[in-house]
A and B are shown apart, each in its own frame.
Chain A
Amino acid sequence: MVMKCEEMWLEISNYIDAEVSPALKGAMDQHLAGCRQCTAVLDGARNVVRLYGDEKAFVLPANFYPQLHSGLVDRVEGARGQGRAWILAIAAAILLTATVLVAGVRDRDTPQLRAAMARPATERIKGLVVAADDTKVFHVAGCGYIHGTPRTMPAEEAIREGFTPCVRCLRELVERSAWNSATMDNDVASKDPAMNLD
């Protein structure tokens, strides 16, 4: 088999890599023996392969390994830290939610009242009150908001009859009621049967 130079060049690379059939290799060897140009091309291509395959062909930059390693350690550690940060963030969110929920429950149990009058009654209103049938509201004597026919009666009776306290004089009602309790403790009630409402 006689080969032309052009055919040789197509197979030069495979020849170098020993990826040609024995028959083709024989024909190429025969051609190379008589062709100085193709021998030059083959030698040159071989030199290229050998030179670039040598580790010394590429020199690493100064401090390549330390820089690469420190950067890599930082990033790998950072990636791990990110994982830990996620766990911490989730834990913090759970803790915060739990705190808010618990606080909400406690708030419902013991609401913070703004005014003394808004607080639930700790004792019943005692003493005499003035009730007006027209409005079904009872007042402290002298309240400027008494409308209709006034009728004096014990507070407990007024409540029993469905009267509600006047919001204008409620504070005074409560204060007087407290005073009544204190005087009853001092046995004043025994001297004034009208004040004993129990």
Chain B
Amino acid sequence: MPETQPTRMKTGAKLSRAVDAESPAAPPSRETENALIQRILRGEKELFYQLVRPYERRVYVMAFAILRNEADAQDASQDALFKAFKYLPQFRSEARFSTWLIQVTLNEARMRLRKNHLEIMRPIDEVEQEDGSYTPRDFTDWREIPSEALERKQVRELLVQALASLAQKYREVFVLRDVQQLSTEEAAEVLGISPGAVKTRLLRARLMLRDFLAPGLDGAWASPSSPPKGTKPWS
């Protein structure tokens, strides 16, 4: 239709400009964000890209932590962002947009996991009783690891491997609290559990990760891909 073509091209160009920037922008203030949402709901749909750009990385990390696979996490990120666009009218401004977006992503990743029947591969300790106690298995002194160490692929892979070894309920809490930096209350709301349960799971997650990583990251491991047998609670 000749009449509509220029309009579409104009919108397309506007959208392209809106998403051209690769680096994530800093999250805006809550008031600015709410105003942006209102404008999107009134029809300025191209502003949606501006709204989600600061959180795209967090969306991917959330999806990756659950799915443990880059390709699935990328697809889930796109699905989650599209669902956020679709269901934006349902967003209640009492919550932070970022928290709501993370919740949408978590649900999307869980759904994908169920669809792929990946939950049958969950670690054995997932079915264990949940209680607050956890006895550390490793008392190796762990010197502070400089942030620069994360530039080494080997170290990053080790972190991913350690995170993947956690049961999903611990992994979810740990990622929400220590990676996404949500508060205990926000994490509890996202997961639909009590703040006390969040604290309990977080304690176990941190200590299990510590046990997994301590011997490797202080230089004791010869090969980071396989922790020495007998040094891990589950080895």
Q: Chain A interface (Cβ within 8 Å of chain B)?
A: 6, 9-10, 12-14, 16-17, 19, 36-37, 40-41, 43-45, 47-61, 64-69, 71-73, 75-77, 79-80
Whether B145 pairs with A40 at a CB distance below 8 angstroms is: no
B47 to chain A, nearest CB (A): 11
Whether A76 pairs with B82 at a CB distance below 8 angstroms is: yes
Nearest first, the 8 closest Cβ-Cβ pairs linking A and B are A13-B203, A44-B210, A69-B19, A56-B150, A44-B142, A37-B139, A65-B22, A48-B209
Select which of B134, B181, B209, B213 is within 8 A of A53 by beta carbon.
Answer: B181
A59 to chain B, nearest CB (A): 6
A75 to chain B, nearest CB (A): 5
Chain B contact residue count (CB 8 A cutoff): 59
A38 to chain B, nearest CB (A): 9
Cα(A168)–Cα(B64), bound, Å: 90
A47 to chain B, nearest CB (A): 6
Whether B145 pairs with A41 at a CB distance below 8 angstroms is: no
Whether B136 pairs with A9 at a CB distance below 8 angstroms is: yes
Select which of B22, B78, B147, B203 is within 8 A of A12 by beta carbon.
Answer: B203
A17 surroundings in chain B (CB, below 8 A): 184
Whether A10 pairs with B132 at a CB distance below 8 angstroms is: yes
Whether B210 pairs with A41 at a CB distance below 8 angstroms is: yes
CB-based nearest B residue for A61 = B70
Cα(A49)–Cα(B206), bound, Å: 7
Q: B235 an interface residue at 8 Å Cβ cutoff?
A: no
Q: B44 an interface residue at 8 Å Cβ cutoff?
A: no
Known contacts: A41-B210, A52-B163, A79-B85. The answer to whether A68 contacts B64 by CB under 8 A is no
Known contacts: A58-B64, A68-B56. The answer to whether A9 contacts B134 by CB under 8 A is yes
Whether B142 pairs with A47 at a CB distance below 8 angstroms is: yes
Whether B207 pairs with A9 at a CB distance below 8 angstroms is: yes
Between A and B, 9 residue pairs with Cβ closer than 8 Å are A6-B135, A12-B206, A16-B206, A37-B136, A50-B144, A51-B150, A53-B181, A58-B61, A71-B78
A64 surroundings in chain B (CB, below 8 A): 60, 74
Cα(A60)–Cα(B20), bound, Å: 17
Whether B156 pairs with A58 at a CB distance below 8 angstroms is: yes
Select which of A40, A49, A60, A67 is within 8 A of B178 by beta carbon.
Answer: A49
Whether B210 pairs with A57 at a CB distance below 8 angstroms is: no
Cα(A90)–Cα(B71), bound, Å: 39
B135 to chain A, nearest CB (A): 7
Q: B101 an interface residue at 8 Å Cβ cutoff?
A: no
Whether B57 pairs with A52 at a CB distance below 8 angstroms is: no
CB-based nearest B residue for A56 = B150
Whether A51 pairs with B145 at a CB distance below 8 angstroms is: yes
Type the 1/0 row for B6-48, where 1 means its CB is closer than 8 Å to any CB of A. Answer: 0000011001100110100000000000000000000001001
B152 to chain A, nearest CB (A): 10
Cα(A26)–Cα(B22), bound, Å: 47
Known contacts: A57-B156, A67-B74. The answer to whether A52 contacts B142 by CB under 8 A is no
Whether A52 pairs with B174 at a CB distance below 8 angstroms is: yes
B187 to chain A, nearest CB (A): 12
Cα(A61)–Cα(B156), bound, Å: 13
Q: B141 an interface residue at 8 Å Cβ cutoff?
A: yes
Q: B199 an interface residue at 8 Å Cβ cutoff?
A: yes
Q: B217 an interface residue at 8 Å Cβ cutoff?
A: yes
Q: B159 an interface residue at 8 Å Cβ cutoff?
A: yes
Whether A73 pairs with B16 at a CB distance below 8 angstroms is: yes
A72 surroundings in chain B (CB, below 8 A): 19, 49, 78, 81-82, 85
Whether A68 pairs with B142 at a CB distance below 8 angstroms is: no
Cα(A48)–Cα(B214), bound, Å: 9
A69 surroundings in chain B (CB, below 8 A): 19-20, 49
A65 surroundings in chain B (CB, below 8 A): 22, 56
